[in-house]
Amino acid sequence: MSFSSQTNSSAAPYSWVLFDADETLFYFDAFEGLKRMFSGFGIDFTRADFDEYQSVNKPLWVEYQDGKISAAELQAIRFEPWAAKLALTPQTLNSAFLTAMAEICAPLPGARELLAALQGKAKMGIITNGFTELQTVRLERTGLQHHFDILVISEKVGIAKPDVGIFEYALELMGLPAREQVLMVGDNPHSDIQGGINAGFHTCWYNVHGHAAPAGIRPHFQVASHHELQQKLISLLG
């Protein structure tokens, strides 16, 4: 898939590049994380168990992104059935899960090289709907934290993507650059791309599987790999 613009291809170079975290910079395999976590409690967590977990978890994420529930409510409710079975608190299980995810969430292929190539050419940040306990530890363990000038976590801000409020919060942290000089890169067309568009940012859809864009969502660019994004940005930024 080529890196193609749906707007003005001669746009000025970006002064900021913002990234989503999960499935944009890092692997996020929730099943493997849950298997690892539950093994510590003597449970053989199966694919059927995961399907049951997701039947609760997925709708909660939609409610969270729509601002209907808080991060704390999401993290507790999704583990309530297992907490009752194991006579533990949902918070205990959630914390163990985030710890397990921090241990297995490696950078995606080309992510390290992309960040290194952009260092000094544009300021970089992360805007994530993930949770604080995972994001900070993972960045430290992978040694990537020094690449980012800002780290915006929805749990801390109290607003989740695609709400324009979290992008406005990031804009303030960035020192109010021109909105068209900010590029938002993410794998989720709804939270990352539409959210970025609503904030007036340019957007790049990290579309590794080559999906068609949902109706009404038009990213400025799309790429199929970090290498492809690196080549285009380096050509723009010099």
Distance CA 179, CA 91 (A): 38
Residue 68, classified by CB atoms within 10 Å of its CB into exposed (0-12), middle (13-18) or buried (19+), is exposed
**What positions carry a catalytic annotation?**
20
List strands edge to edge, sheet with 123-128.
Answer: 150-153, 123-128, 16-19, 182-186, 202-206, 221-223
Query: H or E element: which one contains 169?
Result: helix 164-173
Contacts for 30 with CB less than 8 Å, ≥ 6 apart: 50, 54, 57, 101
Tokens 């059935």, residue? 81
C-beta of residue 238 within 8 angstroms of C-beta of residue 123: no
Distance CA 171, CA 189 (A): 20
